[in-house]
Amino acid sequence: MTKLIIEKLLEPTGITINGNNSWDIQVKNPSFYKRVLQQHSLGLGESYMDGWWECERLDEAIYRLLSARIEKVLKTKLFKEAAFFQMGLRLFWVQAKHRLFNYQSRSKAYEVGEEHYDLGNDLYKVMLDPELTYTCAYWKEATNLVDAQNAKLKLVCDKLRLRPGQKILDIGCGWGSFARFAAKNYGVSVHGVTVSKEQKALTDALNKDLPITIELQDYREINGKFDHIVSLGMFEHVGHKNYRTFMKVANRCLKDDGLFLLHTIGNNETYYATNAWVQKYIFPNGMLPSIAQIGQSVENLFVVEDLHNFGADYDKTLMAWHSQFCNGWDELKNRYDERFFRMWSFYLLSCAGGFRARSMQLWQWVLSKHGEPNGYIAVR
């Protein structure tokens, strides 16, 4: 019965169970069907980690699932059909909990650093470009990951109109790729904050002889005034209960004539909890904002000067990361086991499929405190 339900759900996707196409799912354990129906995204991801199913082009399978709006089909069934009722109650409770409670409070601020970014610098050195840029690259004119990441960093600097001698705040600085690029090419000094001990340790070593300081600190503790502020790929960890607080910190720390560039993944709709599998295995306490939520958070604090969406570029970025991860696995397998390999592959490829289906977006917001006197000239 559960197999028939799954097959029926898959009909509009073009995915066939044990079919011959590269995006078809090859089921190895018949318990897969019940597990997915009972646990939804968590069951799908965990059963892949456990080797219960395979797919030659996992990214394409996820793209097809999301393009067919399978989640919306499920929502219409959750409380109408007995086979889906328990799953509906679980999903309702998850959303309710995240709406009511603050899962990104000060006491939880360092959890994502410890569980994700502190996994090991060796992993990220293999997967990322040489400067360790862990955010969406800009592929407008680039044909490889290094050029695409440099193009993204240049895009950010040009949008902020950086000038020599300026002092920049980088909220969620990662391994310092933006800070190094901006300091070397634009003559600015950068103060970065991170919640990852491993990121700070490596970044301090890489930033020698540059006007860059890195602090292990929650964004709510930042003080000082800066000519410009940048935050690349950190807002996904802030949470809806704290969006307004985050924007107040940025407003407080930005000089009156400065610009704030916010680079974040976003949802097409407003949700209060993220994918259960991603929450458990990849980004604890993560949450993707919607345009409505960001808009409300900046009201009466900032003028939105520019909003740039290049979410389709994240597909290419994630596929490049996955390729490098697989090619470098021999360097990593003595420390990370096969289940980790499957988990990390599922993470990268399913996200690539999500961006390909345009279920997720990548936005760069340029914000000013009082509005640019003669208008802001957008940079692309």
Alpha carbon distance 299, 153 (integer Å): 27
Q: Is 210 helix (H, G, I), strand (E, B) or coil?
A: coil
Nearest to 263 by CA among 171, 161, 129: 171
- In the residue annotation, 351 being an active-site residue is answered as yes
Give strand pairing partners of 309.
Answer: 363
Alpha carbon distance 124, 137 (integer Å): 15
Q: Which residues of 88-110 are buried (b: 16+ CB within 10 A; e: fewer)?
A: bebbeebeeebeeeebbeeeebb
Structure tokens at 287: 């949450």
Q: What share of the chain is helix, strand, coil (3-state, %, to 5)?
A: 50, 15, 35
Nearest to 146 by CA among 130, 166, 161, 160: 130
Considering 55, 157, 173, 351, which one is annotated as catalytic?
Answer: 351
What dihedral do alpha carbons 205, 206, 212, 215 form, nearest 10°?
A: -50
Alpha carbon distance 150, 143 (integer Å): 12
Nearest to 215 by CA among 242, 197, 230, 237: 197
Instruction: Name the DSSP class of 15.
Output: -
Alpha carbon distance 79, 226 (integer Å): 51
The answer to whether 318 and 352 have CB atoms below 8 angstroms apart is: yes
Alpha carbon distance 57, 63 (integer Å): 10
Catalytic residues: 351
